A and B are shown apart, each in its own frame.
Chain A
């Protein structure tokens, strides 16, 4: 092959001259050859050059439109295909010229050769020009009943294309009815194409519903084996429209779909997982569920030997499926250990799964593995590993000591980002296990000079304040930080304020010099409303009744619970109905990422098993709705009470909306303070630090994102996906960016 490639245009002026010359040249070549050229080889070569230049040199080739249409009717399929490609590419820019090709296409749809009929139909329906769309309606009805299955499957997709061009026109015609009738076709490929077309139309319509009864579903499953891998995927996707009315039917269908899990195409595997997980909602009885769950595990693990992108997808879905069906993947955590050469997105996801799968029994090998990761180069990954160790200490109480020892070993290596990350998680360990591990305070304080990130500074300041009476030079340490008070972020300033007050309460002589100064800064020299309000509150508290102040500030707080990134049941349910789709990579409510996506819900039926969804509500608090959605958040009923008990100072991953302030002891059954006063104090403290944490977190987004991928306005949980940029996900900015 010898195709001339235009050198990539570098300057506009010369390009213009070049392309004008080239267009003229190509035009001449296209009309050359004449009668002598029996095989039109000259024309073919010219057309090939034109096609090659179509993408590479922008739209300059559009000038050749009439000449190309002139070649369209030559008796060569090769030439025809090239001309059609040109037509599809440029018809929108020059609809009036494109119209000249319409009669040729209409003619070709009646050709004797099925490949030509299908090609013409496929091409005409790509052209987004009204006349073309209108001219397709009659022929497509005929071709839907063509005696060639290849033409029929093309016609099936054509209806979905027409629907994209003009919804109304299709809805007002009988095309969708005809498409439905094609489900009876004897050719499995045609049936799968019809289903793909119907599901596509359903996805873009508010008025059309898609339902499949058991008999049809059963028939669809029986033709699965005769379809191509892609056809199988379309059928499996369509099966999601079947709502089982009877548990036995659901079970039978799930078992018949299960063999597909051994397909080599991961789309078939993951879509089968989706169908089986969906059907499980309608199947009662532990035994069946366990047996189905066991079938799901091996294929998910096998996908880890696929290319990294597919591995990533499998892992993200494993995170999802594990939340819904913890029985899945109960085998061996070691298959999720990172290979040294895994891409970073695979490693980070494996780390998340490892965290989820760690138990009392396997924690020793997990810790050894995490420790290994903490010596790698990628900072992001190392931090995640360190954080995971800290979180495991909170998740698995019996292993807390081991985790802490591992953390301290890492801290001793004195790598700054490891020290910072470790400081934050150790602070949380103190909060989880008060009065157990304070002996390591001195170890942590030793590295105080290495901390330069706000989150780590705030963490160590919290430790200093909380344990001011055990740290000999706590006042000195605080004083060091106070020297730069005005240069710190609000997150750090709030921590300093609280810590100074705590110091004063515990060691009045040492704190009495510092407190007035800090209170003065916070109330008079800051713009930040939270800092100012909290400053005034402490001031008044201390000046009114020091004894009460002590009770309020230093009172017992309930320990924090294991941080976990469980999705709320609604989102979980929705995502499980979308296993294998892009949304499972983001693990977010689908409408937040894909606003146009048609929502999917579990539809009620006599067979629907509800129990497992109720199980999830206990964990509802773990879901952190974006702050923008505060109204929605406050409706998540059972979550509120629990947030108050757990959401006290800053858990690093938590920046949900502040919990409402309980008006009296009665409203907050979960709090177990010794007295009313104490209880209210706890609640108040929780409330204020809740606000503080949110404030800091939002600031953190501005400050800590330095150099990294753009931060999101959403909660940064472990499930956060790197490349997703929600500030572009909605709103006008996107529209401008992507709409031409």
Chain B
């Protein structure tokens, strides 16, 4: 498994070096610096040199690197590196060079705890915070054997993510359904790809050891007539199936796939699709899901881009909100790519503000509040400078970002959240829905009105 964990800053200075096996020599830090950080050719997150493999992720302004020998479980390596980032955020708010430099000791202490001989151990922040603390929280208990036993039981127990002694005066649970809707629309206006990556984040402030049951308008659960053979085949990416469409219209959603937090009893879900769990205290991601059928696209965008000679590009972009007029989206940002040799732009909009951002090569059109069913238009013109070298412009797609409350692109709804606890307290539950733009991209046709790109043949042959 892992031989060592290294952390570097962007300059390549080695901030943290922790070896877990004797084959992780200090010189490896130099090798990584030379072969990866100072080598612009490296494009892969994995580099194998001889028997040593460096796997790295970049986060903020640091590199987190795992050193492995032989053929390690790469999924585990990257999951661990991301877990380390998450722990850093949980402990310091942010994991960057400054946080690392301010918390050397704690990071080493954490690494010693969460990796043994390079094998990841318990990485639940709740449990870890019981005995590995920043200076703000004193860890007096760890010097007492009885308290220590409680920690060790917790760290090795079946519910390692939750302490047993949690008490709240008011028992509350907040559920956030957050959907990232991805769209790739072709230049001709056909949907190449539309799908939803959803996550359900829960903030549980519940006393004791509560058993929760969570219900969605999952089609497989609602449709009792379905046989188990159909269960093995959720969807199939075929949107033309009429029976599916009608059923979805009747208020259920087909989830292509779900992934659950550690606390969810997967056996239960597999057998009867019931989501049952003992939640960790505080905020956690209960599940992720994917839906590809009947995706409701909140916005329709219709761009027309016309090149006038070699000196000007004209844009006309229309955007229409496709959701109920009772709802409104906020922070709608449309990024309209401009050629690299744009000198200046002029924009006119029917709503919101548009601005040219030369460093991004974009016209950025912002609409702070976008009511349902309304439609807005931007007309813009980019004036180009003539250049001796025509730099390649890849014509990136037009992209959108937004957030829209009380709307799910997949149509997913939370039907219930039940809490069972031996003290039988009553609890209050809140649900909130939000749809955001994941990768919401619209391609466009580039109409050439006149003139053809000049091309200088680079032939150096003499005849």
A residues whose Cβ falls under 8 Å from a Cβ of B: 1, 3, 5, 8, 47-48, 51-52, 54-56, 59, 75-78, 81-82, 84-85, 88, 92, 112-116, 118, 122, 125-126, 128, 148-151, 153-154, 157, 160-161, 164-165, 187-190, 193, 196-197, 200, 203, 225-226, 228-230, 233-234, 237, 258-260, 262-267, 269-271, 291, 294-295, 298-299, 301-302, 305, 307-310, 312-313, 331-332, 334-335, 337, 339-341, 343-345, 365, 368-369, 372, 375-377, 414-416, 449-450, 452, 480, 483-484, 578, 580-586, 590, 593-597, 708-709, 721-725, 728-730, 733-735, 737-740
B455 to A414, Cβ gap below 8 A?
Answer: yes
Complex Cα spacing A1 to B192, Å:
52
Question: Given A230-B119, A298-B290, A312-B45: A728 and B457 within 8 A (CB)?
Answer: no
Give B459's nearest chain A residue, CB to CB.
A449
B82 to A307, Cβ gap below 8 A?
Answer: yes
Let me know if B306 is at the binding interface, CB within 8 A: no
B residues whose Cβ falls under 8 Å from a Cβ of A: 1, 11, 13-17, 19-22, 25-28, 31, 41-53, 55, 57, 68-76, 78-80, 82, 101-105, 108-109, 112, 116-117, 119-124, 131, 134-135, 139, 142-145, 148-149, 151-153, 155-158, 160, 180, 182, 184, 186, 192-193, 195, 197, 229, 232-237, 256-262, 265-267, 269-270, 285, 287-288, 290, 292, 392, 394-397, 399, 439, 441, 443, 455, 457-463
Chain A residues, CB < 8 A from B123: 228, 230
Partner of B259 from the list A151, A302, A730 (CB cut-off 8 Å) is: A302
Question: Given A56-B15, A154-B116, A200-B117: A189 and B270 within 8 A (CB)?
Answer: no
Complex Cα spacing A365 to B191, Å:
11
Complex Cα spacing A78 to B108, Å:
12
B259 to A738, Cβ gap below 8 A?
Answer: no
Complex Cα spacing A55 to B7, Å:
10
A160 to B184, Cβ gap below 8 A?
Answer: no
Complex Cα spacing A234 to B116, Å:
13
Question: Given A260-B266, A264-B260, A723-B43: A331 and B73 within 8 A (CB)?
Answer: no
Partner of B75 from the list A345, A580, A724 (CB cut-off 8 Å) is: A580
The 28 sampled A-B contact pairs (Cβ below 8 Å) are A1-B134, A48-B105, A59-B26, A77-B139, A112-B145, A122-B116, A150-B153, A150-B155, A188-B158, A189-B156, A200-B117, A230-B123, A259-B266, A260-B266, A262-B260, A264-B261, A267-B79, A271-B73, A294-B232, A305-B288, A313-B74, A331-B235, A450-B458, A580-B75, A580-B76, A590-B71, A594-B51, A722-B43
A237 to B73, Cβ gap below 8 A?
Answer: yes
B16 to A55, Cβ gap below 8 A?
Answer: yes
Question: Given A343-B43, A729-B48: A51 and B13 within 8 A (CB)?
Answer: no
A596 to B49, Cβ gap below 8 A?
Answer: no
A5 to B101, Cβ gap below 8 A?
Answer: yes
B267 to A259, Cβ gap below 8 A?
Answer: yes
A382 to chain B, nearest CB (A): 9
A727 to chain B, nearest CB (A): 10
Partner of B104 from the list A51, A88, A730 (CB cut-off 8 Å) is: A51
Complex Cα spacing A116 to B41, Å:
47
Chain A residues, CB < 8 A from B120: 230
Complex Cα spacing A264 to B289, Å:
10
Complex Cα spacing A125 to B102, Å:
29
The 7 tightest CB contacts between A and B, nearest first, are A734-B50, A332-B237, A150-B152, A298-B257, A259-B270, A267-B76, A723-B44
Give A229's nearest chain B residue, CB to CB.
B262
Dominant secondary structure of chain B at its interface with chain A: mixed
Chain A residues, CB < 8 A from B119: 157, 193, 196, 200, 230, 234
Chain B residues, CB < 8 A from A735: 50
Chain B residues, CB < 8 A from A740: 25-27
Give B149's nearest chain A residue, CB to CB.
A114
Chain B residues, CB < 8 A from A3: 101-102, 104-105
Give A416's nearest chain B residue, CB to CB.
B458
Chain B residues, CB < 8 A from A228: 121-124, 160, 262
B50 to A267, Cβ gap below 8 A?
Answer: no
Complex Cα spacing A722 to B139, Å:
47
A286 to chain B, nearest CB (A): 14
B197 to A580, Cβ gap below 8 A?
Answer: no
Chain A residues, CB < 8 A from B109: 81, 85
Chain B residues, CB < 8 A from A305: 180, 197, 288, 290
Question: Given A3-B104, A375-B395: A267 and B73 within 8 A (CB)?
Answer: yes
A581 to B74, Cβ gap below 8 A?
Answer: yes
A448 to chain B, nearest CB (A): 9
B65 to chain A, nearest CB (A): 12
B25 to chain A, nearest CB (A): 5
Complex Cα spacing A89 to B27, Å:
14
A658 to chain B, nearest CB (A): 30
Question: Given A85-B108, A262-B269, A483-B462: A584 and B441 within 8 A (CB)?
Answer: no
Partner of B148 from the list A114, A313, A345, A708 (CB cut-off 8 Å) is: A114
A1 to B102, Cβ gap below 8 A?
Answer: yes
A64 to chain B, nearest CB (A): 15
Chain A residues, CB < 8 A from B232: 291, 294-295
Give B455's nearest chain A residue, CB to CB.
A414
A192 to chain B, nearest CB (A): 10
- 10 further interface pairs, Cβ-Cβ under 8 Å (given A266-B75, A582-B68): A267-B79, A267-B80, A310-B79, A313-B74, A450-B458, A483-B463, A582-B74, A585-B44, A596-B70, A734-B50
B259 to A307, Cβ gap below 8 A?
Answer: no
The interface centre, meaning the residue of B193, B285, B395 with most chain A CB atoms within 10 A of its CB, is B193
B392 to A415, Cβ gap below 8 A?
Answer: yes
Question: Given A161-B117, A264-B259: A365 and B192 within 8 A (CB)?
Answer: yes
A266 to B79, Cβ gap below 8 A?
Answer: yes
Chain B residues, CB < 8 A from A309: 45-46, 55, 57, 78
B122 to A596, Cβ gap below 8 A?
Answer: no
Chain A residues, CB < 8 A from B152: 114-115, 118, 148-151
Chain A residues, CB < 8 A from B135: 1
A248 to chain B, nearest CB (A): 18
A233 to B73, Cβ gap below 8 A?
Answer: yes
B455 to A722, Cβ gap below 8 A?
Answer: no
Give B151's nearest chain A residue, CB to CB.
A115
Chain B residues, CB < 8 A from A226: 158
B127 to chain A, nearest CB (A): 10
B21 to A164, Cβ gap below 8 A?
Answer: yes
A372 to B443, Cβ gap below 8 A?
Answer: yes
Complex Cα spacing A22 to B305, Å:
65
Chain A residues, CB < 8 A from B134: 1
B259 to A723, Cβ gap below 8 A?
Answer: no
Complex Cα spacing A165 to B102, Å:
34
B94 to chain A, nearest CB (A): 14
Chain A residues, CB < 8 A from B142: 77, 113, 115
Give B267's nearest chain A residue, CB to CB.
A259
Complex Cα spacing A633 to B162, Å:
56
A265 to B79, Cβ gap below 8 A?
Answer: yes
Complex Cα spacing A594 to B69, Å:
8
Question: Given A5-B101, A157-B116: A738 and B28 within 8 A (CB)?
Answer: yes
B14 to A738, Cβ gap below 8 A?
Answer: no
Chain A residues, CB < 8 A from B74: 313, 580-582, 584-585
Complex Cα spacing A100 to B21, Å:
22
Complex Cα spacing A228 to B160, Å:
7
Complex Cα spacing A585 to B139, Å:
43
Chain A residues, CB < 8 A from B14: 55-56
The interface centre, meaning the residue of B42, B57, B121, B152 with most chain A CB atoms within 10 A of its CB, is B152
B49 to chain A, nearest CB (A): 5
Chain A residues, CB < 8 A from B399: 340
A377 to B75, Cβ gap below 8 A?
Answer: no
A581 to chain B, nearest CB (A): 5
A480 to B461, Cβ gap below 8 A?
Answer: yes
A262 to B259, Cβ gap below 8 A?
Answer: yes
Complex Cα spacing A634 to B122, Å:
50
Give B103's nearest chain A residue, CB to CB.
A1
Partner of A725 from the list B21, B49, B193, B463 (CB cut-off 8 Å) is: B49
B265 to A230, Cβ gap below 8 A?
Answer: no
